[in-house]
Structure 1
Amino acid sequence: MHIPDNYLSPATCGTLVAAMAPVWTVSVLKVKAQVKKRHETLPMLGIAASLAFLIMMFNLPIPGGTTAHAVGGTLLAVLIGPWAACLALTVTLLLQALLFGDGGILAFGANAFNMAFIMPFVGYACYRIGHHYHHDKLGLAVGAYLGINLAALVAGIELGLQPLLAHTANGTPLYCPYGLNVAVPAMLLAHLLVAGWVEVLFSLFVFQFVQKVAPTNLYQTPVKTHQRPWVYLLAGLAVLSPLGLLASNTAWGEWSPQELKQQLVQQHLGTHVPQGMQHGFQFDALFSDYAIGGLPVSVGYVLSAATALIIFLLLIRGLQRGTDTTK
């Protein structure tokens, strides 16, 4: 679901950044107020961002030869609240784009709109309905499934609209070459059949874990956070992260220009990638595809996960010190 650069037109990217700007502003204000009431919010922000990062490293094989992954958007909203989840997921997506080349720089607003806005808020609304009727787990399951699939639907619409919004005089697409009739079913198929159910299972697993070992971490209960069980969980996921390499194919709509060209040739849709993709924005991430030069891919994967955890830890400690000095 990480849309790369040059799949969306600059106008689409700019529009979605503008759409996210008020969401980010309100999120910051809401989280500031939340931190004053519940000091455990700051460490939980780092834990939540780390959890989302690790979840998204576990790629899953999809029928048809592509891959997908869970995100944890609803789970994060339940654990720390939807506004804090929005910020945690935003930071995660930014780190993925800047350091690991997972998702585009220009497409950052689109990816944040889909995974940091739609997913946690839709999922949390479903969870609250379930909570109202004393069926927390059912609400979480429905929210996790609907949240990720609605985000996938919107991503498919964003991609599928590109041939209509940006094309040459003769109608040739400048960016994503697949229309709505292809992009929407492709995105939904992967998430309705596989990724959505994994999202549900993982969300329920962590929710059960929280209730057993750290019940005070739930968003509605403003009590001191027990962080040690989270350290064990995150460390375990980091060590297991190379399992995500078992699904080695590229997710639909995340191909490199070379891979896209092969797709188009195989499907008899042309022999050249769209002009906007050929001459678009190029960014070389330091650890592209979570690989570290000279090391086995699996080792690079684990080190990438560890690097992200350290960055999140340092970021949260810096925020905690800044908060303490302003008191």
Structure 2
Amino acid sequence: MHIPDGYLSPQTDAVLGIASAITAAVAASKTASTVRAKYIPMLSVGAAFSFTIMMFNVPIPDGTTAHAVGGSLLAVILGPWAAMISVSIALIIQALFFGDGGILALGANIFNMGVALPFVSYGIYQLIAGKSDILSKRRMIGAGIAGYIGINMAALCAGIEFGLQPMLFHAANGTPLYSPYGLGVAIPAMAFAHITIAGPVEGVVTGLVIAYLQRSNPVLLQMRADSEKSASPIQYGRYIAGLIVIALLTPLGLLASGTAWGEWGGEDLQAKLGFVPTGLKKLGDFWNHILFKDYGIAGFDQSFWQQALGYIISAFFALLVIGIIGFAIQRFTRKSEGHT
């Protein structure tokens, strides 16, 4: 679901970039006014969880792959505004350092996975869970359903964005300039992958984690990052340990071969279609300062074990960067609190 550069027109990138930037500004304002400095690490944990969970590719019957996002779980625990910030941090790091999603298309990817997904998920969760007890099964079931619907909404947004390109942006002879797939192809393709595989994965992960937290740490489920009631201390050690375990397991994502639908490079499109859209060819390599392309290490071969090591190094690098960002935000927040 990470749209690469060149698949969307600059106009589309600009519109979605502005929409995402405005939403991010509102999210920052809403969370900054209520989130205490001691809860900033939870946003970092959320970003790290989203980043690592997206490294676990799952196979789709059509030969492509897909992945969960984790935004639904973060929306249930932190609220949609804070979830938007956490997922956006993960997406920015993926695009900048790993080439997973485009820089020009970053606004679109944030809109799909950082705005549509958590807000839809949160709305569905609230609709089902209502005011039920924090330990109620309704909350676990609601979280699972919310995860399923939320990621499918994100996929629908991506499908529409892909599909509108050949309708709106094409050469005089009708050849697409950017995404070559119309609505009749893009929406069903995205829907198939997420209705059948990625949606159930997102839903199951969300529901199971909520069920686990209900048994082990229900206090966390009462901590909304945008709620004034967030006053209970949180023990972060177990969550950091969990992230380390997840990072070590990320090579499991290599077991799913194939590329996610709509993330093919120019050579792949040439082989599939016999041509590469002009705009895609021009913008596809817009960002060429990638440190760990496709979560690999320069000089490593394509053997499973070297790829696996590259995945693990990439995951821990991302955790480090997210930790530094979280620490910086926490320091800034504490200084702000000290002056109020």
- The aligned runs of 1:297-312 (5 Å cut-off) are 297-312=307-322
CA contact (8 A) 2:144 2:207 kept: yes
Backbone CA RMSD of aligned residues: 1.2
Decide which moves more: 118-127 or 19-28. 19-28
Q: Does 1:97 align with 2:106?
A: no
Structure 1 residue 147 corresponds to structure 2 residue 156: no
State the distance in 1 between where 2:179 and 2:316 align: 34
Contact 1:75/1:203 (<8 A) preserved: yes
When structure 1 is superposed on structure 2, of 294-303 and 279-288 the one drifting more is 279-288
User: CA offsets per residue over residues 107-153 of structure 1, 9 Å max, x none?
Assistant: 00000000000000000011111221631112111110110001101
> Residue in 2 aligned with 1:195?
198
Say yes or no: does 1:213 pair with 2:222. Answer: no
Distance 1:204 1:294 in 2: 40
Is 2:247 the partner of 1:244? no
Distance (Å, rounded) in 1 between the aligned partners of 2:49 and 2:208? 13
The residue number in structure 1 matching 2:14 is: 14
Q: After TM superposition, list the pairs within 5 Å mapping 1:1-327 onto structure 2.
A: 1-36=1-36, 39-132=37-130, 134=132, 135-218=138-221, 219-220=223-224, 222=230, 223-264=232-273, 271-282=274-285, 283-284=287-288, 285-295=290-300, 296-326=306-336, 327=338
Q: In structure 2, what residue type is equivalent to 1:79?
A: I
Segments of 5+ residues of structure 2 without an aligned counterpart are: 133-137, 301-305
Runs of at least 4 residues of structure 1 off by over 6 A?
none
> SS at the partner of 1:95?
helix
- Counterpart CA distance in 2 for 1:214 and 1:310 is 25
CA contact (8 A) 1:72 1:199 kept: yes
- 8 Å contact from structure 1 (residues 160, 180) kept in 2: yes
CA deviations over 1:248-304 (Å, ceiling 9, x no partner): 20000000111111121xxxxxx2111111222522211110001234110000010
Structure 1 residue 323: Cα displacement: 1.9
Change over 3 Å in CA distance of 1:105–1:88 after alignment to 2 = same
Instruction: Look up the SS of the partner of 1:237 in the other structure.
Output: helix
Q: 2:141·2:207 contact (CA, 8 Å) conserved in 1?
A: no
Paired letter, 2:297: I
TM-score by length of 1: 0.95
Identity of aligned residues (%): 47
* Normalised TM-score (structure 2): 0.91
Query: How far apart in 2 are the matches of 1:133 and 1:214?
Result: 19
Paired with 1:180 and 1:41, the residues of 2 have a C-alpha distance of 42
CA distance in 1, matches of 2:125, 2:276: 42
The answer as to whether partners of 1:82 and 1:120 remain within 8 angstroms in 2 is: yes
Letter in 2 for 1:147: G
Is the CA contact 1:217–1:225 (under 8 Å) kept in the aligned structure 2? yes
The answer to whether the 8 A contact 1:34-1:41 is kept is no
Distance in 1 separating the partners of 2:86 and 2:99: 18
| SS of corresponding position for 2:59 | strand
User: Which amino acid in 2 is paired with 1:307?
Assistant: F
**Could you tell me whether the CA contact under 8 Å between 2:220 and 2:234 is conserved in 1?**
yes
Aligned equivalent of 2:303: none
Rounded Cα–Cα distance in structure 1 between residues aligned with 2:197 and 2:308: 24
1:13 is matched by which residue type in structure 2?
D
- My pick for the range that moved more, 143-152 or 17-26, is 17-26
Cα distance in 2, alignment partners of residues 130 and 82 from structure 1: 16
